[in-house]
């Protein structure tokens, strides 16, 4: 069974804390974010989930720039910290497919 995680943003509900321009600010932010360059390592949306991203981004109250149809990452990094970070590490294997033991062990 596969699961899909899509992060999304939505404009704040109108309340005493937000002015009537909040939806306009959200629309401007959405436009700027979606027009900006994709700075992810892959540089594109995963093809298998592209229709979901397009569906969300077509709605005025949502947008997403984060999409992955499912990924396994085998990485190497400096052992000085306890936190695993994608930035600054070496990706030994990246796959969106089921991997066999050999595919996980061979990069090591």
Whole-number pLDDT of residue 71: 67
- 93 touches 73 (CB < 8 A): yes
Domain boundaries, the chain: 5-68, 72-105
Rounded CA-CA distance 95/85 in Å is: 18
From the first residue on, what is the mean pLDDT of each consecutive set of 10 residues in the chain (108 residues)? Answer: 41 38 82 85 80 88 74 65 64 73 70
Ranges assigned E (strand) in the chain:
5-9, 63-68, 72-76, 90-95
Whole-number pLDDT of residue 40: 76
Whole-number pLDDT of residue 6: 43
- 99 touches 73 (CB < 8 A): no
Whole-number pLDDT of residue 108: 63
């Amino acid at each position: 069974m596969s699961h899909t995680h899509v992060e999304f943003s939505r404009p704040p509900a109108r309340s005493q804390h937000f002015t009537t321009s909040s939806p306009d600010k959200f629309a401007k932010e959405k436009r700027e974010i979606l027009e900006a360059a994709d700075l992810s390592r892959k540089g594109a949306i995963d093809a298998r989930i592209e229709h979901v991203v397009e569906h969300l981004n077509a709605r005025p109250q949502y947008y997403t720039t984060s999409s992955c149809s499912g990924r396994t990452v085998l990485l190497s990094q400096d052992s000085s910290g306890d936190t695993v970070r994608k930035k600054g590490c070496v990706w030994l294997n990246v796959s969106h497919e089921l991997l066999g033991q050999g595919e996980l062990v061979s990069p090591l």
